[in-house]
Amino acid sequence: MRTPHAGTAAAPAPIGPEGDHAAHPSSAAPVSSGVRTRSQHQRRKRIVQAAAALASRGGVEAMQMRTVAERAGVALGTLYRYFPSKMDLVVAVVGEEIDLLESSIERRPPSATSPAGRAVDVLMRATRGLMREPELADALIRSLIMAEVDTPFGDRMAGLLLRVSGDGLTTESATEEQFALAGSLASVWVHELLEMLRGRRTYEQIQRRIEIAADRLLADFAAIRPNAQ
C-alpha cells in the first residue's frame, strides 16, 4: 500500500459543494467504469491523486471539492460527475491504496507457510504503507468508519486475506465461516491501526496483537471445507 489515506482527528462534517460534505445539488451519477475512455480514466486518476495529496497535508478537511478540482485541473462540475460527494472521493482514494497493496502482493507474495503467517505479512505490509503518511491514514480510516455511503473497504480487505490465507480462495468460493473469520481479522487490524494513530500502540504492539488474533481466528482455516466452485 502506498500510503493510508485516512480521516482527521476530528470527525468530518457533512460534505457539500462549498463546505464539501454533501453531494452537489446537481450531482449526476458517477461515471460508469464500464464506459470510461482512456482520457476519462486519466482524468479520474488525476482527481484521486490530487485528493490524496491534499489529504496527506491536512487530512480530509483539506479535501475541499473546489480545491481538488483546481489541483487536478478539471472543472468543479466535472469533479462532481465522477464523485457526487466528498465521501465518494474518500472511498476512491482508499480503493486506489488497496489496488496498490494487491499489486505489491502479486509481485511479492507472502512466504509464510501458515494461513495466519501469510495474513500477518499482508496486514503489517499494509500498516507500513499507511503509516508513511499518518495524517492521511488517520483521515481516511476515520472517514470510512463514519461513512454514509457503501464502502468496499472491509470486503476488499477480507477478500485479500482470503486469497493469501486460503491459497486463492475468493469471496465466492469461501464458506460463510471463512469469510467471517477473514473479515473479523480485518476489523481487528483497523482497530489496532486506529490505536496506533492515536498514539496508544507501537508498531511492535500492533504486530504482536495481529499475530495473536490471526493465530486464533485462522487456526483451523485450511481445514474448513470451501464451497463447491
Neighbouring C-beta atoms of residue 35, cutoff 10 Å: 7
Residue 119 confidence (pLDDT): 96
Q: Within 13 Å, how many C-alpha atoms sit on residue 195's CB side? A: 16
Q: Does residue 3 lie within any of the structural domains?
A: no
Q: Does residue 190 lie within any of the structural domains?
A: yes
CA 208 to chain centre: 22
- Determine the structural domain holding residue 118 and report its residue range: 33-223
Q: Does residue 76 lie within any of the structural domains?
A: yes
C-alpha Rg value of the chain to the nearest Å: 18
Identify the CA nearest to 92 among candidates 18, 19, 30. 30
Q: Does residue 211 lie within any of the structural domains?
A: yes
Write down the H helix ranges in the chain: 38-58, 65-72, 76-82, 86-107, 115-130, 134-145, 153-165, 176-197, 203-217
Residue 46 confidence (pLDDT): 94
Q: How far apart are the C-alpha atoms of 149 and 156, rounded to whole Å? A: 16
Residue 199 — left, alpha, or beta (φ > 0 → left; ψ -120 to 50 → alpha)? left
CATH of the domain at 146: 1.10.357.10
Q: Does residue 83 lie within any of the structural domains?
A: yes
109-112: list long-range contacts, CB under 8 Å, 24+ apart: 109/164, 110/164
DSSP string, 62-84: G--HHHHHHHHT--HHHHHHH-S
Q: Does residue 17 lie within any of the structural domains?
A: no
Q: Does residue 111 lie within any of the structural domains?
A: yes
0.75 exceeded by pTM: no
Q: How far apart are the C-alpha atoms of 127 and 74, rounded to whole Å? A: 32
Q: What is the pLDDT along the chain (229 residues), one digit of tens a residue?
A: 443 433 333 333 333 333 333 334 334 444 544 456 888 899 999 999 999 888 888 777 888 999 999 999 999 999 999 999 888 888 888 888 888 889 989 999 999 999 999 999 999 999 988 888 787 777 777 766 766 556 667 788 899 999 999 888 888 888 899 999 999 999 999 889 889 888 899 999 999 999 999 999 998 887 776 554 4
Q: Does residue 72 lie within any of the structural domains?
A: yes
Under DSSP, the state recorded for 166 is T
Residue 225 confidence (pLDDT): 65
Question: Which residues, at least 6 apart from 183, have a Cβ–Cβ distance to it below 8 Å?
Answer: 154, 155, 158
CA 181 to chain centre: 19
Q: How many residues does the chain have?
A: 229
Q: How far apart are the C-alpha atoms of 178 and 184, rounded to whole Å? A: 10
* Count of structural domains, the chain: 1
